[in-house]
Amino acid sequence: MMSRRFHVAHSHRGGMVLTALPRGIDPRDAEEIDLVLAQAAGDGLEIAARLSWRLRVLVQRSIPPRVMEPAPVQRAARLRFADGTTVLVKGSAPGDLGILAMAMKHWSVKPTGFATSPEGIAQLRLAWPGANHRLSVDVVGLDQPD
Note the pLDDT tens digit of each residue in 78-121: 999 999 899 999 998 889 999 999 999 999 999 999 887 777 77
pLDDT level of residue 54 (50, 70, 90 thresholds): confident
Q: How far is CA 47 from the centre of its chain?
A: 9
Residue 105's H or E segment, with its range, is: helix 96-106
pLDDT at 3: 40
pLDDT at 121: 78
* Number of independent structural domains in the chain: 1
pLDDT at 4: 42
pLDDT at 48: 64
CA distances from residue 60 to 40, 52, 56, 123, 126 in whole angstroms, order as listed = 30, 12, 6, 15, 13
For residue 71, the tally of other CB atoms under 10 A from its CB is 20
Question: Is the confidence at residue 132, as pLDDT, over 70?
Answer: yes
For residue 104, the tally of other CB atoms under 10 A from its CB is 18
pLDDT at 127: 95
**What residues make up the domain containing 113?**
1-146
